[in-house]
Structure 1
Amino acid sequence: MFSINSTSSTRELVFSAHKDESFRVELKGFAVSASADVWAYTDANGLNEFFQDLGHLEKRWQGQRSWTSIEREFSLAATCTSLGKVTFRVTLLGLQGAPEEWRVEARLVTDLGQLEKIAKHAGVFFNE
């Protein structure tokens, strides 16, 4: 398990239950609670690479960097301000195509200096 904790609130994005081609992701805290089982198939490595790329950044970048699961039930995008505040936009989808389909989107803020640590934890999690 590993998580990304907000530096601005109690919000947390938790990755757990990694097994073969799937994992669980949970967004919780600061008036939000949602989770989804993500079927990444062979693309879980793509999410790990997303975190590893972020972990190598030492200064602000332009634009947005993102990753989306194959079935689109989970997406994660990151932007960075000139002051080094990194905002992750988290989107979770459930029951896609069903009458009670749901969608939760929230943001979580951390610091540029935390990305290396997050990348290390992601590397351990996805390579278990």
Structure 2
Amino acid sequence: MDVLPKQVPNNSKGQFFEVEEYLLNNHRQLCLHYRFASVILKLMCYYPVILFIVNHNKIVKDPSPKMIGDSIYHMMENHGETLNILFSKNVLFVLEESCLTITVYNPSKDMRAIIKKIAKGEGLFWWKPEQS
């Protein structure tokens, strides 16, 4: 899941890294915090969740919506943090402060359909990266 509609090619003449730096280090990151949290919170309505705050070695089963929102906010504010969110059926979401993406591993066909709709509603894009 990404803020961009497709992967930026390695040989792109655009300013991807400058734009990424700006979005991650300016007021716009708060919008990303809300969008990322909204995706997770909406999925929590359908699936059980386990939150793993990697840098603090903390695991929370069925975290509260507030804990999810606060954890994503702190991750984006405190550079170097990573959150892993495990949904039922071994679906893993990885959020890292230095990325404008949520990496999703092992979603079922049904879950992909829900994720795509939720992402679109949050102004995000759902796509599979090209293999290098």
**TM bucket by the smaller chain?**
0.3 to 0.5
- The alignment's TM-score, normalised by the length of structure 2, stands at 0.34
Choose between structure 1 and 2: higher helix proportion: 2
- The alignment's TM-score, normalised by the length of structure 1, stands at 0.35
Q: Which has the higher contact order (CA 8 A, sep 6+)?
A: 2
